[in-house]
Chains A and B, each alone.
Chain A
Amino acid sequence: MIPDWMQKIEARACPCCSVSSTKKKSFVQKAISDILTFFEECLVNDAIARRKGLFQSLDPRVKVVSIIFLIFALAMTHDIHILAVMYAFIFLCAWASSIEMWFFIKRVWVFIPIFAGIIVIPILFNVFMPGDPFFVLATLAPNSHIGPISLPAEIAITYQGINVATLFVLRVACCVSAAVLLFLTTPRNLLFKALRSLKVPKVYILTLDVCYRYIFLFTDMVRGFYMAKKSRSLKVLPLVEEQKWVGSRIGYTLVKALGMSEKVHLAMVSRGFNGDIKILHQYSIKNRDYVACVCFFSIGIVMILASWNMLTI
């Protein structure tokens, strides 16, 4: 029996309205769309890993070992010129691996201002790192201090600070570029399996693999939550209400994730899983893999020796 209020068909015409495109977006909408963009890029990355290119043609174990050694060597280097050459070398590798340069630059530099930039800012100033002034920002009264910290007569950016900051940012950029190059050119499943060659315990590899598989499912579910709410939202809710909703959905996602992990475990048990993780290895190292491995180790060693003035180039 359909109630009377439900039987009424509204005859009111649609109200015309215009909404400015410059208005702020809902924070929930923004957060979800940004998360989805990130996962979208993950999918695109898998497409890069399937392309034909220099790094794609190498054995994943060789890539993992070589890149880890290269990162170690970069961390040991304290010469800006060598780091600049290495940055160019990594770019060359990315180009030879069919990665679009602009995409590669964006992937690397999006994190550097956040992680390296903020850390390095204090080093620029003579308050934290004394040196020759490059640019004087302010002149203070004699014997100025903040609490127990006494301040110099002039607050300035120093040459030495700029040098150290550049070295630090360049080193981070090189290390991140090398890591991004590895992630972009290696399918995730092969990357996880290659970690076994570094004796990473199997349980971690299985956990990573399962996480990667199900994170897409849960992302899709989160997007569904938002869509469902949006389709039933007649008015903009107060921020607190929105936050409450986000909190409740986080809780629900956790409940679903726990439930699903139990079911996934049961599905594994039903197919013979008894706690002993078996990972299929089907790798074959070719001559080019040996050559690449030797090249990367040689470059790394030369870089360290040159940086420590044990080798003159």
Chain B
Amino acid sequence: MEPIFDLQNVSYTYLRKFEALKNVTVSFYPGEQVAILGANGSGKSTLLSILNALTYPTSGEFYAFGTRVTEEMFDTLQDNEFNRFFRKKVGFLFQNPDIQLFCSTVYDEIAFGPLQLDLPPDEVQKRTEDVICMLGIENLRDRAPHMLSGGEKKKVSIASILSVGPDILLLDEPSGGLDPRSQTWLIDLIQDLAKCGKTIITATHDIGIVEQISTRAIVVGEDHTIKVDADSASVMGNRDLLISANLIHRHTHRHGTLQHEHFHSHSKNHDHTH
């Protein structure tokens, strides 16, 4: 099977001196659910940004759908078929929904993508309504995006990319800032989309959801290189790897008079036996 994304020795450096990715060679295949794991600042978001052709490697080569991606393909005023194909095919959920949402109402936000596909107006309306209904955000339809709560903004952001109908979803910390119910809703949504054959690549440091949303896990170390690329279950079972990648840490705490110590991840509540 041909990879949809193929990175060959890709490195990226911010401001000519801060390294974000170092010699990354990795491929992604259609229909996969992949989790990219790493501590804060390891380069997960940069990797997703490169996969979405928003950032271009400082060195190395990035191929999407068999075509080498270069800045000229996306940053010129010239309209080109590859750009349209790529943007239709790949949806990117940003970590910060305030950045992602740029229209004046939630409805306009969701309709933005279908409108650009040059679909007939009734089809645009149908798609927008379908997505609003699917995500259960009917009550937000006419609200201004910047007036919504964090969880609502996240839902609208997801809706805004799903309305284009992308086959590949790049999700940057999708569970960040969500309450437990919204998090469960998100996991269910990702699983449903995966069943439809969507390729879902999720960058996260929330290891609690990894096995539920992915079958393959890539660990990016704090040195900005790929440490491991294996199936999610084996990665989650490798405690030493998770500690070295700063994804879990030893934690001592107290329950009444009982003090004990165990490992847990940074970002979630956790269950454990005493």
Contacts and interface: CB of A to CB of B under 8 A. Distances in A.
A188 to B, nearest CB: 17
Contacts of B193: 2
B75 A9 contact: no
Contacts of A40: 15-16
Contacts of A225: 99, 102
Complex A-B, nearest 3 residue pairs according to Cβ-Cβ distance, in ascending order: A14-B65, A224-B99, A23-B76
A14 B102 contact: no
A252 B82 contact: no
Interface of A: 1-3, 5-10, 12-17, 19-21, 23-26, 29, 40, 43-44, 221, 224-225, 227-236, 245, 248-249, 252, 255-256
Given A8-B165, A40-B15, A225-B99, A3 B130 contact: yes
A232 B98 CA distance: 15
A245 B87 CA distance: 19
Given A225-B102, A232-B116, 11 more contacts: A3-B134, A8-B165, A14-B67, A17-B73, A19-B78, A20-B72, A26-B75, A227-B54, A231-B90, A232-B87, A248-B102
B33 interface: no
B167 interface: yes
Given A233-B87, A234-B116, A234-B164, A19 B66 contact: no
A228 B102 CA distance: 8
A39 to B, nearest CB: 9
B94 A224 contact: yes
A227 B99 contact: yes
30 contacts: A1-B133, A3-B134, A5-B127, A6-B196, A9-B167, A10-B89, A14-B66, A17-B67, A19-B80, A21-B72, A23-B72, A29-B75, A40-B16, A43-B15, A225-B99, A227-B54, A228-B102, A229-B102, A230-B74, A231-B52, A232-B91, A232-B116, A232-B160, A234-B83, A234-B116, A235-B79, A235-B118, A248-B102, A252-B102, A255-B146
**Size class of the B contact interface (CB-based, 8 Å):** 35 or more
A228 B99 contact: yes
A45 to B, nearest CB: 12
Contacts of B197: 7, 9
A307 B54 CA distance: 57
A19 B73 contact: yes
Contact of A15 (B16, B82, B162, B165): B82
B216 interface: no
Interface string B93-119: 010101110101000000011001110
A234 B113 CA distance: 8
A241 B84 CA distance: 18
Contacts of B77: 23-26, 236
A232 B113 contact: yes
Contacts of B73: 17, 19
Contacts of A229: 102
Nearest to A229: B102
A13 to B, nearest CB: 8
A232 B96 CA distance: 15
Contacts of B85: 12, 14-15
